[in-house]
Amino acid sequence: MDVQIEPSWKQALKDEFYKPYFENIVKYLKAEKELRRTIYPAGKNIFNAFNTTPLDKVKVLILGQDPYHGVGQAHGLCFSVQKGVAAPPSLVNIFKELKTDIGIDTPATGDLMHWAEHGVFLLNASLTVRAGEPMSHAKIGWAEFTDAVIKKISDEREHIVFMLWGRFAQEKERLIDTSKHLALKSAHPSPLSANTGFFGCRHFSKANEYLVKQGIDPVDWKL
């Protein structure tokens, strides 16, 4: 199956694209289109995280659960919104922690493309969603694909920082070899849970401290 995705990822994941579950994803999305259902993000952005951050450039992986399901928000990078769109509550809290942790003022944009271009792989566990229906594509096969992606990064790379925010993300630690990577865990940045351990987690500074110790350039978190 010919998937339009950055070459290093295409090579690393080539076996996944021919597995029955992935063929089922493609069939499901085609059926949604035939039913004239609106799907986010737009087709060209479904693999935006992969196309912006090649496998050999990944330094940090931040794992989200589901793309935003509102108009103009999702563009294939977890927690990120397109330029000109107001930052959703979880992203507002991420920016608050960024400020208290490393002193970066709240950005004027919620577009995290700069992070993605500098080694932060912004992966959602599901890569698509039906408009207005959160988690609507959570069980169509994406979890199997993105689990394979996480394991591929763990197996083929060294010294990656995995930021696992909330119980859902923390369950993915089973896919990570923590003897050669750093898994940072905290509560989710959602307003429902940020006060129970996300605020004060200092993941941004901890990530850079770890990378520097490994002789890797730190992430430029400024947007």
E strand or H helix at 35: none
Integer Cα distance of 100 and 82 in angstroms: 24
Q: Which residues contact 132 (CB under 8 A, 6 or more apart)?
A: 69, 70
**Which is it for strands 182-186 and 129-130: parallel, antiparallel or unpaired?**
unpaired
The 3-state DSSP class for residue 181 equals: coil
Determine which one of 66, 105, 177, 220 is catalytic: 66
CB 150 within 8 A of CB 83: no
Q: For the stretch 192-214, what's the b/e string if a residue is b when 16 or more beta carbons lie within 10 angstroms of its beta carbon?
A: ebbeeebbebebbeebbebbeee
The question of whether 66 is a catalytic residue gets the answer: yes
What are the catalytic residues? 66
